[in-house]
Amino acid sequence: MTTKLTRFKVYNFRSIEESDWIEAADNSCLVGTNEAGKTNLLIALWKLNPANDEPIVPLDDFPRHLYSNFKADGHSNDVFIAADFLLGDTIQKEIAEELKCDISQIKTSLVKRKYDGKYYISFPYSKLDSFPSHRIKTLIDSFKTILEQKEAFTKESDELKATINTFLENEINSIKEDDVVQADVQGIIERANKFQEDNFGKKQNLPIIFRKHLIKKLDFFINAFEGKAIETTSEIRQKVLANIPQFVYYSDYGNLDSEIFLPRVIEDFERKDLTESARAKVRTLDVLFKYVKLSPQEIYELGNDRKVVIKKLNHSNQVISTEEEELSEEEIQEWADKKRERGILLRSAATQLTKSFKQWWLQGDYIFAFEADGQHFRINVSDSLRPEAIELEGRSRGLQWFFSFFLVFLVETKEGHSNTILLLDEPGLSLHPIAQYDLAKFFRKLSEDNQLIYTSHSPFLVDMDNLANVKAVYVDKQTGRTKISANLRYNEEDAEKSIYPIHAALGLTVSDTLLLGCLPVLVEGVSDQVYLSLLKRFLIGKGELQYSKEIVFIPTGGVRGMGPVSKLVSSREDDLPFVLLDSDKTGKEYAKSLKSGRYRDEKDKVLGVADFLSDKEYEIEDLIPTEAIISTIDRMYRCDQYFEDFHDSKKPIVDQIEDWAKNNSIDLEDGWKVELARTIQNRFDKHFEKIDDKLVKSWKEIFEKLLAEKK
């Protein structure tokens, strides 16, 4: 496993005063209106560890209304970006060994960057709540082996040795099978100290062995329970920094022109005073010339006939005459060979680019050609429909964008295989809607190897199968500052326009079911959609489900939204969609009204969660592995009482979570169920590794019911 970004937070950067912690999945989308601050979030993250050494420019990056205090108040030491990274397996092991701590304490590293460019790296999540019981049993077993090798033990009486062995065996047997917590380990330490007092008298060697090889090693677990700070070293911090991903940011500003004036490019490459948009263009040009493996200086020199000029100067170093000197035959041949080599390199690079591009771009079969002529470098494009070569600028803006992004991605990610995270600002804005659909599919595939975060206000780029990883970005009307929330219904007055693309995407999903013959299933909310998609994914992976691509789960925003959406979906041939409702009081009442009204002739299409479990007020969450819900809740809301200890397996789980939260003064914000679903989705492989057969049977029954009419 490579190091992955899990979340980030932005402070005092451009329009952002202080963002929430923003969770990052493999494929995350930030939606919002223009000027909401989406771009600033990406640029701040980019400058944490840019692949192209993009500079931090306080004049551009520090909030403009506070800039007068930047130097006076020493804000160069301010942190503008913080991010949590889940370290790769190899580096986890190395750091744990070097720092002599538990590997769980250093799995996640917090990396911050200041305006002066310096980094602050720490392991602030060293507090652990539990350890697997086998860790403690193994420790005591190992201690028994150590004892048997010590002369201080072997020379003791058989009676004392038997007493010691009995004590240690009793401790092993008393350890519970599930995880141990601090009180369990503290109890072993206290009993071990009491045992020494009662049995060792004035002996010295045995107590030393107990303290060194048992008590001290148990203290290691106590330190972890108490969250003792992990002291890092300069070498460790450098190792973390070397292993975190680099960020590749791309926006429309970097789009290439078809004709490139080489003297201007050579000049711009040397300048340090370029604007942000000019730097973006120069950056794309830089990757272009790196790709063709020729510098603009080389191309320029080889594109002009070479002449040797002899100058005559006066005593003031002024040129008074010039004289051209003819090249020798050898020099002429050498120059011709270099120009020929340049032509071969350009044709080879264009051929390779054409081949790679075909694997990505689905909107046409394009052939690229690079041409160098004197002071100009040109990019020409042809395709099967238009075989004549046309300048890139004469093609669509969508193709220009994708071509330019494609080059940046290939070069800065070293052909896509390096440890990089892609940050795309309004990608494909100039693409045709169908091409945007293809781009969304491409992002899904791309995120299998590179984490991806992109901004958009196009509904065609909102992936409804990935709705749990869509965040709304909007401007708070009271402060004028950028806000972000994973709860798509949060602060509806401010966020209403920002989440419009999601509502539009819902309409497009509904349209897909009509145009493409999909099987629509209406569910109450986004969390229901996420969970049912996970169940479908699991059953497909196990070969238990066929004909699955046709099922589309459509969230309706609660039971009130089901009526309008059901009419929209069933508009063709008046074929009513399936409805899957929670079996709580509201869900049961609505199911009853549907069966007596619109669905009176198709009652079998109104389903409740309880139909597949038992007759209780079950909700979608009760179809999910209980261990996944419990462990995620305890991670999300830490308090003195674990939800695991509160949970009753015989009762519906959602009501229990709400009661537990109330008892422990925990505020469950609106949308907490979506956040819970999103977190479980992002740890699918772990949570769905081992599933109870009865639960799988329930899942199969749901999909068999949904697909019965299709067979």
Mean pLDDT, 10 residues at a time, the chain of 711 residues: 90 87 88 80 95 88 82 86 94 91 91 95 90 91 93 91 94 87 93 93 90 93 89 93 92 74 84 80 83 81 57 59 66 79 85 82 80 82 81 76 81 70 85 74 82 83 72 74 62 50 50 58 87 88 71 78 65 71 88 86 90 87 91 85 88 91 86 86 80 88 80 48
Helix, strand and coil content of the chain, in percent to the nearest 5, comes to: 50, 15, 35
Residue 141 DSSP code: H
The C-alpha atoms of residue 169 and residue 573 are separated, in whole angstroms, by: 73
Q: Which amino acid is at 411?
A: V
The C-alpha atoms of residue 140 and residue 172 are separated, in whole angstroms, by: 7
Inter-helix orientation angle 182-199/216-225, to 10°: 150
Q: What pLDDT is recorded for position 543?
A: 83
Look-up of token digits 């309004």? 426
- 1-124+229-245+419-473: CATH architecture: 3-Layer(aba) Sandwich (3.40)
Q: Are 239 and 91 in contact (CB under 8 A)?
A: yes
Q: What pLDDT is recorded for position 295?
A: 83
The C-alpha atoms of residue 353 and residue 476 are separated, in whole angstroms, by: 45
φ, ψ at 456 (rounded to 5°): -165, 155
The C-alpha atoms of residue 617 and residue 650 are separated, in whole angstroms, by: 11
Q: What pLDDT is recorded for position 515?
A: 44
Q: Which residues contact 205 (CB under 8 A, 6 or more apart)?
A: 150, 152
Residue 64 DSSP code: G
pTM for the model:
0.67
**Cα separations in angstroms, 382 against 31, 349, 370, 389, 478:** 35, 16, 12, 5, 53
The C-alpha atoms of residue 507 and residue 557 are separated, in whole angstroms, by: 13
Q: What pLDDT is recorded for position 168?
A: 94
Q: What pLDDT is recorded for position 499?
A: 53
Give the number of other CB atoms < 10 A from CB of residue 10.
29
The C-alpha atoms of residue 335 and residue 306 are separated, in whole angstroms, by: 8
Q: Are 428 and 398 in contact (CB under 8 A)?
A: yes
The C-alpha atoms of residue 85 and residue 6 are separated, in whole angstroms, by: 6
Q: Which residues contact 233 (CB under 8 A, 6 or more apart)?
A: 98, 99
The C-alpha atoms of residue 249 and residue 408 are separated, in whole angstroms, by: 9
